[in-house]
A and B are shown apart, each in its own frame.
Chain A
Amino acid sequence: MTTIYINNQQVEVPEGSSILEAAQQIGVKIPTLCHLIGHEAQGACRVCVVEVEGAKNLVASCATPVAEGMKVTTNTKLVRQARKFVVEMLLSEHDGDCKVCVRNEDCELKQLAYELGITDLRFEGEKTHRFIDDSTPALVRDSGKCIKCRRCVTVCCEVQGVGSLFPQKRGFQSTISPAFNEDLSHVICVQCGQCSAVCPVGAIVEKDHISAVWKALDDKSKHVIVQTAPAIRAALGECFGYEPGTLVTGKMVTSLRELGFDAVFDTNFAADLTIIEEGMELLTRLKTILVDKKEAALPQFTSCSPGWINFVEAFYPEMIDNLSTCKSPQQMFGALAKTYYANKIGKKPEEIIVVSVMPCTAKKFEAQRPEMTQNGIADVDYVLTTRELGKMIKQAGIIFRDLPDGIMDNPMGVSSGAADIFANTGGVMEAAIRTVYELVTGRELPTEHLHLEPLMGLEGVKIATLKLTDTLAEWKFLEGVEVKVGVAHSLINARKLIERVQKGEVFHFIEVMTCPGGCIGGGGQPRFTDDSVRLKRISAIYKEDEGKKLRKSHENLQIKQLYDEFLGKPLGEMAHHLLHTHYHSRN
Chain B
Amino acid sequence: MINENSHTQYDVETDEELMNHLNNIIQECKNKPGMLIPILQQTQKLYGYLPEFAIRKISTELQIPFSEVAGIIGFYSFFSTKAKGKNVIRVCQGTACYVRGGKDLLSAFKNVLKVGVGETTKDKKFSLEVSRCFGACGLAPVITINDEVIQRVKSSSVAEIVKSVED
Question: Does B145 reach chain A (CB closer than 8 Å)?
Answer: no
Q: How large is the interface on B (under 10, 10 to 19, 20 to 34, 35 or more residues)?
A: 10 to 19
Q: Which of B68, B74, B81 has its CB near the most chain A CB atoms (within 10 A)?
A: B74
Q: Is the CB of B65 within 8 A of A169?
A: no
Complex CA–CA separation, A152 to B67 (angstroms): 13
Considering the complex, give the chain A residue whose CB is closest to the CB of B68. A166
Chain B residues closer than 8 Å to A303, beta-carbon distance: none
Q: Is the CB of A178 within 8 A of B67?
A: yes
Question: Does A144 reach chain B (CB closer than 8 Å)?
Answer: no
Complex CA–CA separation, A188 to B68 (angstroms): 13
Question: Does B138 reach chain A (CB closer than 8 Å)?
Answer: no
Question: Does B12 reach chain A (CB closer than 8 Å)?
Answer: no
Question: Does B33 reach chain A (CB closer than 8 Å)?
Answer: no
Question: Does B115 reach chain A (CB closer than 8 Å)?
Answer: no
Chain B residues closer than 8 Å to A157, beta-carbon distance: 65, 68
Q: Is the CB of B68 within 8 A of A180?
A: no
Q: Is the CB of B65 within 8 A of A168?
A: no
Q: How far is the CB of B98 from chain A (nearest CB, A)?
A: 15
Question: Does A31 reach chain B (CB closer than 8 Å)?
Answer: no
Complex CA–CA separation, A177 to B68 (angstroms): 10
Chain A residues closer than 8 Å to B64, beta-carbon distance: 163
Complex CA–CA separation, A180 to B56 (angstroms): 12
Q: Is the CB of A179 within 8 A of B67?
A: yes
Residue-by-residue, is A244-256 near B (CB-CB < 8 Å gives 1, otherwise 0)?
0000000000000
Considering the complex, give the chain B residue whose CB is closest to the CB of A162. B65
Q: How far is the CB of B36 from chain A (nearest CB, A)?
A: 13
Complex CA–CA separation, A169 to B81 (angstroms): 12
Q: Is the CB of B70 within 8 A of A166?
A: yes
Q: Is the CB of B75 within 8 A of A169?
A: yes
Q: Which of A122-169 contact B (CB under 8 A)?
A: 157, 162-169
| Cβ contact of A180, chosen from B65, B74, B75, cutoff 8 A | B74
Considering the complex, give the chain B residue whose CB is closest to the CB of A163. B65
Helix, strand, loop or mixed for chain A's interface? loop
Chain A residues closer than 8 Å to B68, beta-carbon distance: 157, 163, 166
Question: Does B39 reach chain A (CB closer than 8 Å)?
Answer: no
Helix, strand, loop or mixed for chain B's interface? helix
Chain B residues closer than 8 Å to A163, beta-carbon distance: 64-68
Q: Is the CB of B66 within 8 A of A168?
A: no
Complex CA–CA separation, A167 to B68 (angstroms): 8
Question: Does A170 reach chain B (CB closer than 8 Å)?
Answer: yes
Q: How large is the interface on A (under 10, 10 to 19, 20 to 34, 35 or more residues)?
A: 10 to 19
Q: Is the CB of B66 within 8 A of A167?
A: no
Considering the complex, give the chain B residue whose CB is closest to the CB of A171. B75
Considering the complex, give the chain A residue whose CB is closest to the CB of B73. A180
Q: Which of A162, A165, A167, A187 has its CB near the most chain B CB atoms (within 10 A)?
A: A167
Q: Is the CB of B75 within 8 A of A166?
A: no
Chain A residues closer than 8 Å to B34, beta-carbon distance: none
Chain B residues closer than 8 Å to A162, beta-carbon distance: 65
| Cβ contact of A166, chosen from B55, B71, B81, cutoff 8 A | B71
Residue-by-residue, is B63-100 near A (CB-CB < 8 Å gives 1, otherwise 0)?
01111111100110000010000000000000000000
Q: Which of A20-76 contact B (CB under 8 A)?
A: none
Q: Is the CB of A170 within 8 A of B75?
A: yes
| Cβ contact of B81, chosen from A177, A178, A180, A187, cutoff 8 A | A180
Q: Which of A162, A166, A177, A188 has its CB near the most chain B CB atoms (within 10 A)?
A: A166
Considering the complex, give the chain B residue whose CB is closest to the CB of A177. B67
Considering the complex, give the chain B residue whose CB is closest to the CB of A157. B65
Q: How far is the CB of B95 from chain A (nearest CB, A)?
A: 15
Complex CA–CA separation, A177 to B71 (angstroms): 9
Q: How far is the CB of B92 from chain A (nearest CB, A)?
A: 17
| Cβ contact of A165, chosen from B67, B74, B75, cutoff 8 A | B67
Q: How far is the CB of A419 from chain B (nearest CB, A)?
A: 36
Q: Which of B55, B68, B69 has its CB near the most chain A CB atoms (within 10 A)?
A: B68
Residue-by-residue, is A166-201 near B (CB-CB < 8 Å gives 1, otherwise 0)?
111110000001111000000110000000000000
Chain A residues closer than 8 Å to B66, beta-carbon distance: 163, 178-179, 187-188
Q: Which residues of A are in contact with B by a Cβ distance under 8 Å?
A: 157, 162-170, 177-180, 187-188
* Sample of 20 more A-B contacts, CB < 8 Å, known A163-B67, A166-B68: A157-B65, A163-B64, A163-B65, A163-B66, A164-B65, A165-B67, A166-B65, A166-B67, A166-B70, A167-B71, A168-B67, A168-B70, A168-B71, A168-B74, A178-B66, A178-B70, A179-B66, A179-B67, A187-B66, A187-B67
Top 3 closest A-B pairs, CB basis?
A163-B65, A179-B70, A166-B67
Question: 23 A-B contacts, Cβ less than 8 Å apart?
Answer: A162-B65, A163-B65, A163-B66, A163-B68, A165-B67, A166-B65, A166-B70, A166-B71, A167-B75, A168-B70, A168-B74, A169-B74, A170-B75, A178-B67, A178-B70, A179-B66, A179-B67, A179-B69, A179-B70, A179-B71, A180-B81, A187-B66, A187-B67
